[in-house]
Structure 1
């Protein structure tokens, strides 16, 4: 298992099992690189000075690699793909158009549309010209067409773009913020079969159960 307790490991994940840290953990497991974890609590350590020195936003996840800090899940996925090229999680530089497109489509239009809808924000026709996603319905249709038209979003092979977009879809369908369309379910099934996804999920499930038992 890549997860280690060695204090000498220079790759660190700051996380909480019930957070977007699940995305970063999946990506770390895909790299196969050893990493250690620092589990934070929402009410205390996540907003305490030591962690705010890492991420002033007081949010997880964050990754520290060789003293370099990376926050924001899309950036973490892209960084780790480049930091560990042997894992093959990014296409060759000259073939990254689709990779970048869908990685940041999920970080921008998709997340904004889903969050706004969850908060009850529904832009009218005029407001849709101002918001980057236009409308929630348009975002869903565009993404459905994208995943239906290819096995993986970043090119012929699985990549960090699939980790990030797939995480949004898996989470969204689980909690009802995205519809359970056949296109989404087929794409998600390809991803959840991956050993790294299953390993990452098992770690966070066990960690979540441990935290729940502690009250």
Structure 2
């Protein structure tokens, strides 16, 4: 297998990819980048001109954007069954919620965090719609089974669950029973706990 490397920072969405890699249980190396000069170095900007993590390299291939990395890894390691089969009706559901979290959910929660105005005048032009509509849509999806695609745990759960968990923590997602139960179920997974321990160990310690 080509060398798989995760570029990350423990205070970043790189935690999502670390968790997914632990779920996949495949060999990988980690390069931790500090915010500031290191993450804006010419060497790293050659991989991602935005100067943001996570990034993975897989041999000579570079993949950026967290949802794209999730989709790529789940497909490359298809034998791990972290994505529905390409001919499964659930494949569309999987894509739907993976990119719902990357699009409307992330935009709506960011708008809430920064108190951006979304109202009747501009909602049609705003990709996320109204905040409450976004939450209601997501909650309805979680009523269809223990996971976002029903009975099968997938890479979409890693991505969606991370966003819900962080949203609850930082008060950008309402603490609804369906959301808290979903996050608790996901965070109890061995791979999730292992990934958190690995990333927490990289956090700076207070003096």
TM-score, length basis structure 1: 0.92
Partner of 1:5: none
The SS at the match of 2:6 is strand
Distance 1:114 1:163, change over 3 A: same
State how far apart, in whole Å, the 1-side matches of 2:2 and 2:58 are: 9
CA contact (8 A) 1:9 1:34 kept: no
Q: Is the aligned partner of 1:142 residue 2:137?
A: yes
- Matched length: 205
Q: Secondary structure at the match of 1:69?
A: strand
Q: Deviations over 1:125-170 (max 9, x none)?
A: 0200111211111101111111123211124210011010000011
Pick one of 37, 41, 47 that aligns with 2:34: 41
Q: CA deviation at 1:28?
A: 0.8
Helix, strand or coil at the partner of 1:204: helix
Query: Gaps spanning 5+ residues in structure 1: where?
Result: 1-7
- The residue number in structure 1 matching 2:147 is 152
Aligned-pair Cα RMSD in Å: 1.4
1:125-204 equivalences under 5 Å are: 125-204=120-199
Q: Which runs of 5+ in 2 are unaligned?
A: none
Partner SS state of residue 132, structure 2: helix
Give the corresponding residue for 1:85.
Answer: 78
Q: Does residue 1:11 correspond to 2:4, yes or no? A: yes
Structure 1 segments, 4+ long, off by >2 Å, are none
| Partner of residue 68, structure 1 | 61
Q: Hey, what's the Cα distance between the residues in 1 that align with 2:34 and 2:70? A: 23
Shift of 1:179: 1.0
